[in-house]
Amino acid sequence: MLRQVTATLGSVSQISRPVKAKQSTGHGDARRERWRGHRQARRAEFVEAAVRAIGSCGAEVGMDDIAAEAGVSKPVLYRHFSDKSDLYLAVGEWGTNLLMERISPTLRQEGSARERIRRIIGTYLGVIEEYPELYRFVVRRNFADRPVQTDPVTTEKTVIANSLSRLLGEYMRSLELDSGGVEAWSHGLVGMVQASGDWWLDRHSMSRDDLTEYLTKIIWFAIDGVLRAGGIVIDPDEPLEIVPHLRVVEDDVD
């Protein structure tokens, strides 16, 4: 199960730090080429180890812990990750990937607008409930030393919010509505779900289904309001004719 997800991680990693196409750099050497796949596999393996270490040690793992979990010593880790942030970022990608792998199929299923929202939120809450320590690790970021732009969570949240932006933007434009607020709304909605999940994870004062229902309700109202303001009324329980397709990271490559 984990393996399947990780299998796709290599390509994702390429996105953040694209592999230099080093074929024919003077002394064209087949050796570097030969190892490339292996290096990716190794990286993924270490990311998995990190995920396991986070699960056992909690969100405050050190590099030594992760190295130990992977069964190697620290310098080995640093051959594959430039620094802690790099690894953390990879872990974040792993999490995003897992989340997307679970959300995508629900989007391909039939369902009304509200039902789709419900499934996305339910899936999200399910994931953070399943990996609470990983979630904390990713979300409670500790990168005071790094520039803001490279911050893992910001990056991951941005990825998700951007997907949502594209989705909403398409809808809005296809309905010929002003899409000026779409980006802000996307980031806002993502933040809303994240914050609620954060709070819920700490307190657990209601069931997951209840929270899912409450969030679905308010988000639907928000979207419905925007549509109504544009003169469009959609029945929340009618199947959607426009089927959305999430494009997560692939579009960002080229």
Partner DNA sequence: AATTGCGTGTTACGGCAAGTAACAGCTACC
Partner DNA sequence: GGTAGCTGTTACTTGCCGTAACACGCAATT
- In angstroms, what is the minimal distance from the CB of 81 to DNA? 8
For residue 94, how far is the Cα from the chain centroid?
8
| Residue 72 site contact among a second copy, DNA, none (CB < 5 to 8 Å, cut-off depends on kind) | DNA
In whole angstroms, the minimum distance from the beta carbon of 8 to DNA comes to 20
Q: Least distance in Å: CB of 4 to DNA?
A: 22
Residues 212-251 that bind a second copy (CB under 8 A): 214-215, 217-226, 228-229
Shorter beta-carbon distance to DNA: residue 31 or 203: 31
The dihedral region occupied by 244, where left means phi > 0, alpha psi between -120 and 50, and beta the remainder, is beta
Task: Say whether residue 35 binds a second copy (CB under 8 A).
Answer: no
Size of the site for a second copy (CB under 8 A): 53
- When CB distances are held under 5 to 8 angstroms depending on the partner's kind, the choice from DNA, a second copy, none that residue 191 binds is a second copy
Q: What is the CA radius of gyration of the chain?
A: 20
Cα dihedral 49, 52, 53, 55, rounded to 10, equals 160
Q: In whole angstroms, how far apart are CA 167 and each of 66, 112, 170, 192, 246?
A: 37, 15, 5, 17, 7
Pairwise CA distance, residues 170 & 64, whole Å:
46
**What whole-number distance in Å separates Cα of residue 60 and Cα of residue 241?**
46
Picked from DNA, a second copy, none, the partner binding residue 59 (CB below 5 to 8 A depending on kind) is: a second copy
d(CA 228, CA 239): 18
Candidates 8-16, 35-43, 115-123, 169-177; binding stretch for DNA (CB under 7 A): 35-43
84 versus 187: smaller Cβ distance to DNA: 84
Residues at the site binding DNA, with contacts judged by CB under 7 A: 29-32, 34-36, 38-39, 42, 62-64, 72-76, 78-80, 82-85, 145
